[in-house]
Amino acid sequence: YTVGGLSGVASLAGTLDEVKVFDTLLTATEVQGDFNSGTTPDMTPPSVSITSLATGTIVSHTMTIAADATDNTSVVGVQFRIDGLDWGPEDTVPPYSVQVDTPVQLSEGPHTIDARARDLSGNTSTSPAVTITVDNSTPRPNIVFILTDDQRDFEFSTSDPLWQLDYLMPLTSARFDPAITSSINFDNATVTSPVCCPSRASILTGLYAHNHGVLQNGLPNGGALVFDDKSTLATWLNNAGYKTGLFGKYLNDTDLLGTYIPPGWSDWFAFAHQNGMFYNYTLNENGSFVTYGNTPADYSTDVLTNKSIQFINSTPSDRPFFLFLSVYAPHEPYTPAPQDIDSFINHPLWRPASFNETDVSDKPTWVQNLQPKNSTQIAIFDMDQQRALESLQSVDRSVEAIFNALSAAGRLDNTIVVYTSDNGLSWGEHRWFDDKNCVYEECVRVPFLVYFQGISPGNNSSLVQNIDLAPTFSELANVIPTTQVNGASLVPLFNDPTANWRSQSLIETLGLSPDSTYQAVRTDQYVYAEYMNGDRELYDLAIDALQLNNVVNDPAYFSIIPILKSSLTNLISQ
């Protein structure tokens, strides 16, 4: 029957055994009862959208289709459809998703996907369709991402061979040596926010901190609870068939997550407390807490490396994987493995011209408030730095072990390996000891090494940042992020070092006091920063790499400041 309005439904209810309103079959008694009680039947359809895949995504192996559905009353279920046909049973329990084994269940080529949501009253709506392409003919690359914690780049500020990577980490340096391997050393790389949690959130999303909202390491404006994990590199890759695994440090305040596993991770072996540790730590191992002790076998870098190798070996050869190995070194408490203790005891002390800077009158308020360190304090600092370098020796062996495992598994030739750090660390420059959250090069510069067969090897000084990792990995995997990114894929630079690239980058530390909160623009030559309290800094890196002289009030630079200020405004608006 076709009914012109609800009054028609009510009148028919007296003469018919049952009435079908949209897709819901109601008895005459139910319909009449609603009208007799004065209750208006729900006529509002639910809202539904595909969240896992974007139009244009190329998928292979296992594909996950996910949808988000909401309603003014209650969503009863979501029915996924491929090429207009129902795919599997209606999913009645959120989060709504279905997995598709593309080699077995779908033909090669384009397919259209949508989802139909149904509410308690039988109202339905269909999501906008997305078009994907199934391509199982070309294997997609495996991705190995190795992230250290607080590892700075020394090479920009000294040519002393004892502070170069080939001395500090010889095994890693050899694996990423452009002269002998298919590797690129991005030697002008920075992080967008030089502190652990915001940087890691930027790595996983490709977003600036002012967009992902993780401003510091803990509540109320940072930490794992603040991070929106529904759309990340892990979900993009996992939904497109990648096996994904995280081993080590995730975000700060992970202890507040309990045994929770963020979406998108096939394997989850994360430190289950605020940061991480070298001994006496607990891992959330796929939803169960496992505690480790203080024996040499418990040293976390080695434990995480061994689990990473198991992940590589357990992944089927026809399935691509994303391995995220996130070690705690060289973060404080600067704990080396037993065999590395005192291995750097005779290493020269770190003493650049900016060390424990005498005159900071040109610096912003927060630096002027720092007191110079005395000899006793500096001696403690020197010991910390020795231990930090020693803790990197286990990481050096870890990198070698990962490469060897990839080779033994026959997967090295189709794997991209990226090595970097979440931020740098100031080692006493400008009176700032063992800390980050600063605009200075020591805080923002990080090693950034890429190994991938077929790329054009060499050193590259392009202004790359950590926000570029998510779009790079996505492009290599033929995955389109389901949310926006601020970063850009590095793939064009892999084969053409002169490819068009950004000429300016954003650096920001947010969520602190007005004296310390800043946003800055960095170019090949200049760093210009504006603080919330009105302080400003300008450094000419071409002649002052150690940032000893703030020239923001120097008339010789007055003409460049409006240009940099305009660039900064533009970056902040993105």
Which pair of tokens denotes residue 530?
A: 């504006």
Q: Which residue has the tokens 């890196």?
A: 541
Residue type, 200: R
Q: Is the alpha carbon torsion for 456, 457, 461, 466 positive or negative?
A: positive
| CA separation for the pair 19, 12 (Å, rounded) | 8
Whether residue 78 contacts residue 96, with contact meaning beta carbons closer than 8 Å, is answered with yes
Q: Which residue has the tokens 């950590």?
A: 466
| CA separation for the pair 418, 77 (Å, rounded) | 41
Which pair of tokens denotes residue 246?
A: 């995280």
Environment class of 39 (CB within 10 Å of its CB; exposed 0-12, middle 13-18, buried 19+): exposed
| CA separation for the pair 283, 297 (Å, rounded) | 15
Give CA separation, 505 vs 170, 212, 354, 530, in Å: 31, 17, 24, 14
Q: Which residue has the tokens 């940061």?
A: 275
Listed in order, strand segments (DSSP E) in 176-265 are 183-186, 243-248
Query: Per residue in 473-486, is it b (16+ CB within 10 Å) or e — as a string?
Result: bbbbbbbbbbbebb
Whether residue 529 contacts residue 520, with contact meaning beta carbons closer than 8 Å, is answered with yes
333 preceded by cis ω (within 30°)? yes
| CA separation for the pair 92, 79 (Å, rounded) | 9
Whether residue 361 contacts residue 368, with contact meaning beta carbons closer than 8 Å, is answered with yes
- In total, the chain counts a number of residues equal to 574
Among candidate residues 196, 197, 438, 443, the one labeled active-site is 196
Is residue 196 among the annotated active site residues?
Answer: yes
Active site residues: 196
